[in-house]
Structure 1
């Protein structure tokens, strides 16, 4: 089993679309607006190497799926999704992946919207990004040499009416290591 460092961060109000409400010491996000545009929020901590794990707990008020993952860039229009660009990788809660494309991506995992806990594991030594939903390992979503090079920031993109609560400071569950 790999060594498992403890990752702690919060969402950064400086790198958050102004339409997104941050609460609970910048751990909870919520968006409620009439438009149907993704709004990105980026973490206050960068990763330059190693293993990093965090979770997102679904908000029961959510009507539209989230995009959850990482970005290598914080300087872009936060009124768009980070994963629409070459510097972003995301699991889209409709059960697809997104990278360099806002509308298309391969099937992956299961739907994640109003209920559940989504675990995210970034392994910068291997250049992989993996997810687990309610303790079920979904597999490696992305394997990319760019995921070995920092800085990399956790990110989330919300659409119309959506939210989640961030949980950090926990080791990655064994399912991420025994299922590979």
Structure 2
């Protein structure tokens, strides 16, 4: 049953982006902090993908949104998570996230893919219509849940807390001149100390303000790490 819910209410902002070194040559990154991935800028003769630059840690929860502005079409546009062993390019039109046991993905046709197998999950996305897909990775329960335009589609994958390799956000497309943009990014607090540093950072706003506060050097460095993300 579909439901409307707001994931990770008790959380802080996250600030990962696409990895400029771990992408297909058919992916162009642009915009603020390289958050927009453009696939096959001229024409397409295969499948291109890009990974996020931050590990999804077990024991933590993450939520992010991917905005597809308008062009939804082709053999496969995919969103999900994968290890570094997952391929980022192939000269063929395939469902690359989940083509093997290194990826877990949802295609725009409403199918979930993992280990080369697919299953029905939701209705296909409407072609050439803007849509927003939310992804919730629960590193405690080991689940992956998708949201479409703010509506939960239910748990898609389980058992991800048992994966030994590091997992990363990943998107892919076979269609020429398509685009996916990172929107909202949230993560749960790792501990009370993490919660406190986020509150301090929000109050200070700038690194210069941090420099004048009387805090031990180690604590200043800890707060500064969050302010730089």
* Alignment RMSD (CA, Å): 2.4
Choose the corresponding residue for 1:17, options 16, 24, 40: 24
2:158 paired with 1:143: yes
User: How far, CA to CA, are the matches of 2:157 and 2:134 in structure 1?
Assistant: 15
SS of the counterpart of 1:83? coil
How far residue 160 of structure 1 moved from its aligned partner, in angstroms, is 2.4
TM-score after normalising by structure 1: 0.82
How far residue 95 of structure 1 moved from its aligned partner, in angstroms, is 0.6
Equivalent position of 1:176 in the other structure = none
Equivalent position of 1:177 in the other structure = none
Unaligned residue ranges in structure 2 (runs of 5+): 1-6, 91-95, 189-229
Change (3 A) 1:123 1:63: same
How far residue 82 of structure 1 moved from its aligned partner, in angstroms, is 3.4
Q: Is the 8 A contact 2:22 2:51 kept in 1?
A: yes
Equivalent position of 1:31 in the other structure = 39
TM-score after normalising by structure 2: 0.66
Which structure has the larger Rg over C-alpha atoms? 2
2:14 paired with 1:7: yes
Q: Is the 8 A contact 1:58 1:116 kept in 2?
A: yes
As a proportion of its length, which structure holds more helix?
A: 2
Residue correspondences, number: 169
Q: Which protein has greater RCO, CA pairs closer than 8 Å, 6+ apart?
A: 1
Q: Is the 8 A contact 1:69 1:154 kept in 2?
A: yes
Choose the corresponding residue for 1:71, options 76, 79, 82: 82
